[in-house]
Amino acid sequence: MQSHLADGPDPNATDPALLSGAEITIQALIDEGVEYVFGYPGGAVLHIYDALFQRGDAIKHVLVRHEQGATHAADGYARATGKCGVCLVTSGPGATNAVTGIATAHLDSIPMVVITGQVPTPVIGSDAFQEVDTVGITRPCVKHNFLVKRLEDLAETIRKAFFIAQSGRPGPVVVDIPKDVTDPNIKIPYIYPRDIGIRSYNPAKRGHLGQIRKAVETMLAAKRPIFYTGGGAVLDNAAAPLTELVRALGFPITSTLMGLGAYPMTDKQFVGMLGMHGTYEANMAMHETDCLIAIGARFDDRVTGKIEHFCPHAEIVHVDIDPSSISKNVKVQVPIVGPVGSVVTDMLSILRESGGRPDQSALAAWWQQIDAWRGIDCMRYDRSSPMIKPQFAVETLYKVTNGDLYLTSDVGQHQMFAAQFYPFDKPRRWINSGGLGTMGFGLPAAMGVQLAHPDAQVACISGEASILMCIQELATCKQYSLPIKVVLLNNGYMGMVRQWQEFFYESRYAHSYVDALPDFVALAQSFGHVGMRVEQPDQLESAMREAFAMKDRFVFLDVIVDPSENVYPMICAGKGHHEMELPPTMSERELA
Amino acid sequence: MLVENESGALSRIAGLFSARGYNIESLTVAPTDEPSLSRMTLVTSGNDDIVEQIKKQLNKLIDVVKLQDLAEGDHIEREMMLIKLKAAGPDREELKRLTEIFRAKIIDVTEASYIVELTGASRKLDAFIEAVPEGLITEVVRSGPTGILRGAKGLTL
Ligand SMILES: Cc1ncc(C[n+]2csc(CCOP(=O)(O)OP(=O)(O)O)c2C)c(N)n1
Ligand SMILES: [Mg+2]
């Protein structure tokens, strides 16, 4: 029986195997092709853990040290591979600990299936030990969730969960399984449904060709066009057709924080990230454009600035898989609902068939204007500083890793510096929590990435405040020998909070100083890792080279950076794209 | 709306409205001739953009099987009201007359009270309440409106 199961259920077999709910759960994951389960055991999932134990190596379980870590690790795995991340946690506190990670995945549309244990069905609603209403708590931060009340529904529900998580606009799906449903003594025939239809759920498979044609006409008529791409371009693996289309048209392209890498950032047509900490050229181009082509982006408030000032001259084409993203914040003229990869491919073939070319002289003038804006050098910083500047640290990281890196991030100034100064040329390389902005995301996410790509260079850029939020995962990294490199930009402050307090609260630094910091070198060592500290700019490169040369070790690099540095440019609250704050070293005259 | 007849469906819909700051003016739910589906009539308000967004968000819910905006077409709306009235002395005759004018039914009688049942457009129910002389209303129970599009076409799968 054991060997028969290892190959999955045999469709020709007359008698399907008899399995318990716990065994069904594990077998269903195997049948989904799941490689890793990130989890943490507890009473309500013990039957499932026992079934997992009995299946040996058929599926790899990664024991995290906090359920938040499980969700971020599964999320990082999903972002780096495009596959579905999977978690297994117990009821009550296990489920509540997972909520932050579920919400993180939800806001960035990351495919994830989270299996939570629940108290047995007869005691649901009685405030039983470790009972919470998991389906109720997670409802607003999942794509969908299920409470499985009957063993007969289990296999189909898991199949539906994977289908929903990975199709259409992806997202996390929670499957809450009461303990009695996994009872090892109650067995039923197991058949894993391959094709399931959900009558109320039919995500678009292609965009409307008439609309796509209209979009191409709009693009060809433009004088000052710009592409604006978001996380959807990465999620739908649209990088190749997108790059081809942008090059064929010769238009400038900007990207949100979530879309970085979908188009090569070192390419001349890429004008940098847009939005609150975007480049001067990207934001000015947004303000002046007469044709905005939004691809898998959702007009988030960090991107648009004040809506009244957003793209005042533009006709807007918007491609998105989710109809509710279209005309939600900004009204658009050419909406296209569909998977961005297929729509962009259709755009490309329609463009080629039409034989049309954009207005070359208008485009040349537009590029001339953009290059003038570029000339402002809006991300300039003091390169002669006796202290390590965070920007310099990121540039050095780029140099040392030759641009070939999976980089996860926490949340704060370091995240913005990384996005600004590490140009990613490939998608799925830049992995950060953009929507929810979850401090603590970086380290566990890096675990998922490193497991997915065991031979790749993986680093986590973090701040001394963020890293402490999931620091317990250093133990997981040790247990699974994950050779991640943590690059800690240690400014001794919650830098991003301090920056806002400096700008908007007359430098009253209310609780943004991280007092009583640990000795990170000793901390890393106590977990069995290598710890290094760098304080001098001229020692940074060699220290990083040393760290990355340790191919099989986890290295924690504590980089002491200038505590007073701020992220520029910045669009402050209530301002438009054309009203950026630039680095203070630049005089008004330079800008004129 | 046709929604999956599942325990979580109603809270998903109610939760969507509260989470996104839309208001629910009224909501009626009941099973349909197809046991796996419930029919829900929800009354909300907002400008065209908001209503458009509400519809998109509702359609995104996996439990929402089919959605129709009745306000977009020629439709019939009905609401049912049960109203308990103080009916003693000279008020008794007056209330009976009022009931007849509105084509309502008296469905429960005691020496001092009537219960009146009235079905119609919500405005008609409002009018009845207004027509009842001051101080005679003990209790009002309204179902909230339900509705259906006119014509041969139905909201089915
Ligand atoms: C869980 C969580 N709590 C609070 C915040 C608000 N917040 C955003 S950035 C930040 C400071 C981060 O400090 P640090 O990790 O040292 O990074 P730095 O900005 O100094 O680079 C805080 C507190 C958040 N994003 N996430
Ligand atoms: Mg800091």
Q: Closest by alpha carbon to B2, among B157, B143, B150? A: B157
Residue A588: pLDDT over 80 = no
Give the side-chain half-sphere CA count within 13 A for A478. 15
Tell me if domain B2-72 and domain B75-147 are identical in fold: yes
As assigned by CATH, the class of the B75-147 domain is: alpha beta
Is the pLDDT at B4 greater than 50? The verdict is: yes
Domains of chain B by residue range:
2-72, 75-147
Residues on chain B touching A201 (C-beta within 8 angstroms): 62
In this prediction, residue A382 has a pLDDT band, given cuts at 50, 70 and 90, of: very high
Ligand 1 geometric centre to CA of A523 (Å): 21
What pLDDT, on a 0 to 100 scale, did the predictor assign at position A195? 87
Residues within 6 Å of ligand 1 by CB: A 410-414, 437-439, 463-466, 489, 491, 493-497
What's the whole-number mean pLDDT along residues A381-400?
Answer: 96
Best CATH choice for the domain B2-72 from the list 3.30.160.270, 3.10.20.310, 3.30.70.260, 3.40.50.300: 3.30.70.260
Question: Contacts of residue A135 in chain B, CB cutoff 8 Å?
Answer: 8
Q: Is the pLDDT reported for residue B155 higher than 90?
A: no
Give the model's pLDDT for residue A2.
37
- The H or E element spanning position B78 is strand B75-86
Buried b (16+ CB within 10 A) or exposed e, A216-236: bebbbebebbbbbbbbbbbbb
Radius of gyration of chain A (CA): 25
Which residue's CA is minimally distant from atom 3 of ligand 1? A439
| Total residue length of chain A | 592
Residues with CB under 5 A from ligand 2 (ion): A 463-464, 491, 493, 495
Out of B57, B62, B65, closest to residue A164 by CB: B62
pLDDT in tens, A502-543: 999 999 999 998 789 999 999 999 999 999 999 999 999 999
Question: How many contacts, defined by CB atoms under 8 Å, are there between A and B?
Answer: 39
The CA distance from B57 to the nearest CA of chain A, in Å, is 6
Q: Catalytic residue, from A83, A130, A187, A328: name it.
A: A130
* ipTM here: 0.91
Which helix (H) or strand (E) segment holds residue A531: the answer is strand A530-534
Ligand closest to Cα of A497 equals 1
Is the model's pLDDT at A214 over the cut of 90? yes
CB count in 10 Å sphere of residue A479: 13
Q: Nearest Cβ partner of A324 from B7, B53, B62? A: B53
Rounded-to-integer distance, Cα B8 and Cα B1, Å: 15
Residue from A146, A163, A173, A200 whose CB has the most chain B CBs within 10 Å, to mutate: A200
Q: What is the pLDDT of residues A3-45, one digit of tens each?
A: 334 445 555 556 899 999 999 999 999 999 999 999 999 999 9
Residue from A53, A54, A129, A399 carrying the catalytic annotation? A129
Q: Which of A413, A436, A439, A559 for a ligand 1 pocket mutation test, highest count of atoms within 8 Å of Cβ?
A: A439
What pLDDT was estimated at residue A6? Answer: 43
Q: How far is the CA of A295 from the centre of ligand 2 (A)?
A: 33
User: Residue A551 pLDDT more than 50?
Assistant: yes
A201 close to B (CB below 8 A): yes
**pLDDT at site A592:** 46
**Is A129 among the residues known to form the active site?**
yes
Cα→Cα distances A6→A30, A54, A57, A498, A525, Å: 8, 12, 10, 55, 40
d(CA A39, CA A49): 10
Helices marked H in A55-208: 67-81, 93-107, 134-138, 154-166
Domains (range + CATH), chain A: 18-189 (3.40.50.970), 209-374 (3.40.50.1220), 390-567 (3.40.50.970)
